Amino acid sequence: MPNTFAEQISTKLNETLLSLPFASDLPEGFVAQVDQAQNRQFGDYQSNAAMILAKQLKKNPREIASTIADAFDGGALTDKPEIAGPGFINFRLKPEALSTRLDLLIEDEKLAVSAAGEKKTIVADFSAPNVAKPMHVGHIRSTIIGDSLCRIARFLGHDVIADNHIGDWGTQFGMILWGWKNVLNEEALEEDPIGELVRVYKLVNGRQKEEEGLRDECKQELVKLQAGDEENLAIWKKCIELSKQGLQKIYGLLDIEFDYWLGESFYNDALAPLVEELMKEGIAEESDGAICVFFPENEKMADKPALIRKSDGGFLYATSDLATIDYRINELKADAIWYVVGAPQQLHFDQIFAIAGKRGQNANFEFIPFGSILDKNGKMLKTRDGDPVQLADVLNESIERAYKVVDEKNPDFPEEEKKQIAEVIGIGAVKYAELSQFRMTDYKFDWDTMLALKGNTAPYLINAYVRTRAIFRKMGDDFQPGGNLVLTEDAEKDLALKLAQFAETVPAVLNDFRPNTLAAYLYELATTYHRFWEACPVLRAEGDVRYTRLALCELTGRVLRCGLGLLGIRTTEKM
């Protein structure tokens, strides 16, 4: 697959540098970078190489830039470079280069996106709700960011394993087991399993504070479970089964799938041997009856040991996470393990990764943190009762709101079609509101903004896709490749360039795990397409001009559908 425009220009620029009189004075290993121009008024791509080299060569940066520009031969790719500001070198693509790239895009299913240079097996750990509890709005970020990163990594050719490391073990089950045996409502369980389990948990938790001895009874139920009591194991398994059914409905609505659901309980048998191994290797040691790992070599964690076994013999999240790493490396053969988890868990994962390093585990560990979702007033999003808003309620309300908009604009659509479109728009709006933000940004959850047909929203982008398809419905035929591409209007050239830059944008997302980079690109593409739509009549054009504009519409539709798909957002043919 041919290189992107940025890569081609960079190659020519670095070849030029090596041909100049001062080539021998270049810093060892220096490679000039070429980036998309921030202001298209000055060109399509630019490089600040002259300004970087100025200090090393002890020359004026504009003088260096002029020397480079005079020697640079863009061939069929670019015009002669121009110098701007303190020494930026600006490159403008030739129309024939854009036409050639469009021909390539038309023939390429992957839209010129090259496979990753080094194929990896990546285990992605995201979502990870607790069983016997409903998913709440706080799960949006991990679930949606994690799924998008998986989609993009797969598109780039990596083998990706999505693992939902659910919380299916712990002290809460003592209360649920006691409640199951004493206060469970069988009819309510059948009608709303998660709701009834939550009711039982809250009821028992509240009564523990008032009824003497109940806490000990719950602990005994937990001890029996951990010892393998048949009755308690059966109840526990039923809770997990019912929870998974409820979770799967939400994942189905979100169009998210997991390869594994390996919860905390899966690793129980490995915990005790793991602690013994860490002690034997001198990585862990006893401290006041507990087993800890200390980090004297790390200034930030020198006074923050990791506790891996409590003085009463109980294990912790750290122990389970270390056993999980063992399994992912030894059994799943992971080259990289990604954890899409909230920012407050930074220290925990710093410790886990440090212990893995002490053990000689060389997988590429990535902690991918995110911020919080806020209400319109900038506070944590909660119900009036102070509980976290349930994710199912958020998704259903988004679909209902989208349905009202669809019904108002297209009352004559068949009912089933209106429902399908509303689901695409509603779910897409929630996902895009998340993915259009830098993941560390705390963002405000605002229905009116999310579902707006104008601005940087999913409905706006999906509507742009619908417009690309409307052309071909009106024409009564699909796009037929094989014509001659001619780019004459600025709006055509702008759109062709933006389409070509899809191949530069997608791989960049994984550089810092920023799906918002792709979201921003798609928004720019949609706005560029709308400007083209206004400036360049398509079906009234003739000959090569008509073919070129149809090709631009076809490719815009394909890139929008592919790009939104990588964000986990579906499209619809009508809206």
Q: What's the pLDDT tens digit per position in 260-279? A: 999 999 999 999 999 999 99
d(CA 154, CA 166): 23
The residue-averaged pLDDT of 108-115 equals 94
**Residue type for 201, please?**
Y
The residue-averaged pLDDT of 205-225 equals 91
**Residue type for 516, please?**
N
Q: What is the four-CA torsion angle of 148, 153, 155, 158, rounded to 10 degrees?
A: -150
Under CATH, domain 5-93 is a member of which superfamily? Answer: Arginyl tRNA synthetase N-terminal domain (3.30.1360.70)
d(CA 325, CA 13): 44
How many other CB atoms sit within 10 Å of the CB of residue 481? 11
The residue-averaged pLDDT of 37-53 equals 92
pLDDT at 388: 76
User: Of the candidates 383, 344, 163, which has an alpha carbon nearest to the alpha carbon of residue 264?
Assistant: 163
- Multiple choice CATH, 391-566, 3.20.20.140, 2.60.120.560, 1.10.730.10, 3.40.640.10: 1.10.730.10
Confidence of residue 209 (pLDDT cuts 50, 70, 90): confident
Quick check: 385 pLDDT over 80?
Answer: no
User: Is residue 499 within 8 Å of 106, Cβ to Cβ?
Assistant: no
The residue-averaged pLDDT of 391-413 equals 93
Burial class (CB in 10 A: 0-12, 13-18, 19+), 288: exposed
User: Of the candidates 489, 497, 502, 487, which has an alpha carbon nearest to the alpha carbon of residue 560?
Assistant: 502
User: Of the candidates 353, 354, 351, which has an alpha carbon nearest to the alpha carbon of residue 337?
Assistant: 353
3-state SS, residue 93? strand
Strands 373-374 and 443-444: parallel
3-state SS, residue 308? strand
User: Is residue 492 within 8 Å of 558, Cβ to Cβ?
Assistant: no
For residue 222, give both structure tokens. 């937990």
User: Of the candidates 239, 236, 215, 238, which has an alpha carbon nearest to the alpha carbon of residue 227?
Assistant: 236
Confidence of residue 459 (pLDDT cuts 50, 70, 90): very high
**Residue type for 304, please?**
K
pLDDT at 56: 85
pLDDT at 381: 72
State phi, psi for 123 to the nearest 5 degrees. Answer: -100, 120
pLDDT at 403: 96
Confidence of residue 380 (pLDDT cuts 50, 70, 90): confident
User: Is residue 325 within 8 Å of 123, Cβ to Cβ?
Assistant: no
Confidence of residue 138 (pLDDT cuts 50, 70, 90): confident
pLDDT at 419: 96
3-state SS, residue 351? helix
User: Of the candidates 16, 45, 49, 11, which has an alpha carbon nearest to the alpha carbon of residue 30?
Assistant: 49
- Mean per-residue pLDDT of the chain: 94
pLDDT at 230: 95
Domain extents for the chain? Answer: 5-93, 172-247, 391-566
Share of the chain above pLDDT 70, in %: 99
Confidence of residue 238 (pLDDT cuts 50, 70, 90): very high
How many other CB atoms sit within 10 Å of the CB of residue 331? 9
How many other CB atoms sit within 10 Å of the CB of residue 294? 16
User: Of the candidates 89, 30, 32, 34, which has an alpha carbon nearest to the alpha carbon of residue 61?
Assistant: 89
The residue-averaged pLDDT of 499-522 equals 97
Quick check: 518 pLDDT over 70?
Answer: yes
Quick check: 443 pLDDT over 60?
Answer: yes
pLDDT at 321: 97
pLDDT at 1: 43
Predicted confidence (pLDDT) per residue in 50-73, tens digit: 999 998 888 999 999 999 999 999
User: Is residue 422 within 8 Å of 353, Cβ to Cβ?
Assistant: no
Quick check: 2 pLDDT over 90?
Answer: no
Predicted confidence (pLDDT) per residue in 325-352, tens digit: 999 999 999 999 999 999 999 999 999 9
DSSP for 521-549? HHHHHHHHHHHHHHH--STT--HHHHHHH
Predicted confidence (pLDDT) per residue in 519-552, tens digit: 999 999 999 999 999 999 999 999 999 999 999 9
Residue for token digits 């069983």? 131
User: Is residue 111 within 8 Å of 327, Cβ to Cβ?
Assistant: no
